[in-house]
Amino acid sequence: EVQLVESGGGLLQPGGSLRLSCVASGFSLRSFEMNWVRQAPGKGLEWLSYVSSDGRTIYYADSVKGRFTISRDNGKNSLSLQINSLGSEDTAVYYCARRRCGHSCYSPHFDYWGPGTLVTVSP
C-alpha cells in the first residue's frame, strides 16, 4: 500500500526555521517526482515546490522562492522541505504529494498525498 507520512510540524516563532520530512512506503521513492503543497486554515490548496526523481531539477512557487528548499534522499525513501524566515503566512498544513503522469506528462497530477503536518507560526 502506498503511504506518505509527513512530520516536523509544530508551533514556531516568527523568524525561525524548520525542516519538514515525508517518508514514503509501499513504493520506491526514487522512481517518482515529488511535490509539497500547503493549505492555510480555512483556505485552499497552494503548490509550493517540485523535485525530480533524481533530485537534479527543482522548482518553487514564486511566493516561497528564496525561503524554501526542497530535497530528497532516495536511499532513505524520504523527502524534505526546509523553511526559513517563518512568518504568520506560513501557518498551514503541509502535504507531500506524489506526482504522476497520465496519458502524457504535459500536465501531471498528484495521485497520493500524505495526511499532512501542521505548522503554526505565532509569537
Partner 1 sequence: QSVLTQPPSVSGAPGQRVTISCTGSSSNLGADYDVHWYQQLPGTAPRLLIYDDTDRPSGVTDRFSGSKSGTSASLAITGLQADDEADYYCQSYDNRLRGYVFGTGTRVTVL
- The answer to whether 22 touches 79, Cβ cutoff 8 Å, is yes
Closer residue to partner 1 (CB): 50 or 83: 50
Cell 500524505 maps to which residue? Answer: 114
- Contact region for partner 1 (CB under 8 A) — 7-15, 21-29, 70-78, 114-122? 114-122
Q: Is 31 in the site for partner 1 (CB under 8 A)?
A: no
Q: Is 89 in the site for partner 1 (CB under 8 A)?
A: no
Region for 77 from its dihedrals, namely left if φ exceeds 0, alpha if ψ lies in -120 to 50, beta otherwise? left
Q: Is 1 in the site for partner 1 (CB under 8 A)?
A: no
Footprint of partner 1 on this chain (CB under 8 A)?
35, 37, 44-47, 50, 59-63, 95, 100, 102-103, 106-116
